[in-house]
Each structure stands twice: as C-alpha cells, then as structure tokens.
Amino acid sequence: MTNLFLILVASSVVNNVVLSQFLGICPFLGVSKRVETAAGMGGAVIFVITISSFVTGLIYKFILLPLNFEYLQTIVFILVIAALVQFVEMFLKKNVQSLYQSLGVYLPLITTNCAVLGVALKNVTNGYNLLEGVIYGFGTAVGFTIAIVIMAGIREKLEYNDIPEAFKGSASVLVTAGLMAIAFFGFSGVISL
C-alpha cells in the first residue's frame, strides 16, 4: 500500500508530467486560458490516461508478451488511446456540449498527447504490474490537471495586470510555465521511483 501511495505522489507532484518531464505541453499551453476549460481537459485526460493504462497493461501482459509481439507495443498503444479519445469525444459531444465546444480542437489532440502514450510506455519500462500501472497513470493525469488548472488560474489573473507589450500573449505564458517548472523542481529528489 505504501508503494502505491509513493507512486501516486511521485507521478503527480514530484515527477509532474508537464513541469518535470515536459510531456503534454500542447494542451497545457492551448487549453489553459480559463480554469473551467482547463479543469474539463484535466478530467478528460484523467479518464483517458487511467483507462488506457489499464487497457494497455492488459494487452501488453496477456497478448503482446505471450505472443512475443513486444515490438508492436507502440502501435497497439496508439490505437487503444485513439479509440478511448473517440469515446470521450462522443460522450462530451452528446452529454456536455458546452465543454465539448470550449475544448475545440484540443480534445482530439489528447490522442496525440505524448503524455498519454508516455504513461503507457513508462508502465512497461518500469515493469509496473497492472495495479501499479493504473495508479501511475492516474497520478500522472492528476499531475497534468494540477499543472493546467494552476496555469489557467495564473493566466486569468494576468489578463487584468498591466504587462509590458513585449510580454503580452505567449511570452508571458512561457515565462509563467518556466517559473512553474522551477517551482516544481523543488520537489525533485523527495521521492524517487
């Protein structure tokens, strides 16, 4: 139980996927304009990464390994992730129309979000069992959500500040992301996996 808790904390805060590993930057920068939209994207990413960790873990352990098809893991993982994102997109389009419209093009980008594929591959690389892989995936997605919601909150506050012209727009966003990465760097070494 302690090991699972350490995996959860390490993947969400210490080794934050966005601010420490620099994966998933596209939706992090693109969807972090409003807190509500960022939280919606975070929820979608939590669902996709957690479920894809479970499904890819099953496929790897019970299909790819016994048949010696480990070399197909990347292709298979991409197909599983694409199918899960299509499911999330259909669900949001039918049930949460406002979130679907506010996410726009960034929702299908979860398919190509390198953080999602990175988690599936890292589960295999780290040799996690099915439960550890799901906890690692969930923790990573929670870390993504924490980072994107914090960034959205900061960006909302920056709108009302008097910023020099040279720092308006993407410059202030990139400086903010860099400062957040430095802040999260303070957690490095607390837990190592």
pLDDT digits (tens, 9 = 90+) for 22-32: 888 888 988 88
Closest by alpha carbon to 147, among 159, 137, 139?
Answer: 139
pLDDT surpasses 70 at 114: yes
Side chain identity at residue 26, one-letter code: C
Short-list 44, 47, 151, 147, CA closest to 103: 44
pLDDT of residue 193: 61
**pLDDT by residue (tens digit) across 95-109?**
988 878 877 777 777
Rounded CA gap, 105 and 32, in Å? 14
* Other beta carbons less than 10 A from residue 80's beta carbon: 20
- Residue 41 has a pLDDT of 87
Please tell me the predicted confidence (pLDDT) of residue 9: 92
